[in-house]
């Protein structure tokens, strides 16, 4: 993830991740998850399938003195995702991994969460809905984009919020 895009992401997330559990799926170097910790996340799961990336994440965590508040989930995201319960999920699979977007977002659409963010190429169109998740925002920067999804509110829940 580009530094400018990561900064934009966390400016948008300001106030939404403090004390939350954050999952960085397709973590790569772990930079997004580590940034979430620095912005107040309580716990971070870093899911990654590549052994070389695990070593980079381990070194980054060690260099920063990050211990139990970060957990590396080693393996394919599809396999480890059922074991992760988080409030906020970030996914940034390789842009060419078409199936990874659909499978991961579909699985996340069945989980209880506050927010899902997908990083993807600007020209990729993600669906409006995945299970319980509804697209709420798209931010485009250069050739990249961030799409935000939040759970649909039940009609009685939305009515109660309107009355307050």
Write the pLDDT tens digit of every residue in 117-156.
Answer: 999 999 998 999 999 999 999 999 999 999 999 998 755 5
Mean pLDDT, residues 8-25 taken together: 96
CATH number at residue 118: 3.40.50.150
At residue 53, the pLDDT reads 95
Nearest Cα neighbor of 104 from 88, 115, 116, 122 is: 116
Q: How confident is the model at residue 162 (pLDDT cuts 50, 70, 90)?
A: low
Domain extent at residue 152: 3-163
3-state secondary structure of 150: strand
Q: What pLDDT digit, counting tens, does each position of 40-98 carry? A: 999 999 999 999 999 999 999 999 999 899 999 999 999 999 999 999 999 999 888 88
Residue 49 structure tokens: 């399938």
Domain count, the chain: 1
Q: How confident is the model at residue 2 (pLDDT cuts 50, 70, 90)?
A: confident
**Which letter does DSSP use for residue 149 in this model?**
E
At residue 73, the pLDDT reads 96
């Amino acid at each position: 993830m580009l530094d400018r895009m990561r900064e934009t992401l966390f400016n948008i997330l300001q106030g939404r991740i403090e004390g939350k559990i954050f999952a960085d799926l397709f973590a790569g170097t772990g930079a997004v998850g580590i940034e979430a910790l620095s912005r107040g996340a309580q716990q971070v799961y870093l899911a990654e399938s590549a052994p070389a990336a695990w070593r980079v994440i381990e070194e980054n965590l060690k260099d920063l003195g990050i211990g139990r508040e970060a957990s590396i989930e080693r393996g394919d995201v599809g396999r480890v995702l059922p074991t992760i319960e988080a409030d906020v999920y970030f996914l940034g699979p390789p842009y060419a991994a078409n199936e990874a977007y659909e499978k991961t977002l579909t699985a996340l659409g069945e989980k209880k969460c506050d927010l899902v963010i997908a990083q993807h190429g600007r020209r990729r169109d993600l669906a409006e809905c995945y299970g319980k998740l509804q697209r709420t925002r798209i931010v485009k920067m250069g050739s990249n984009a961030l799409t935000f999804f939040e759970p649909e509110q039940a009609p009685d829940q939305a009515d109660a919020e309107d009355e307050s």
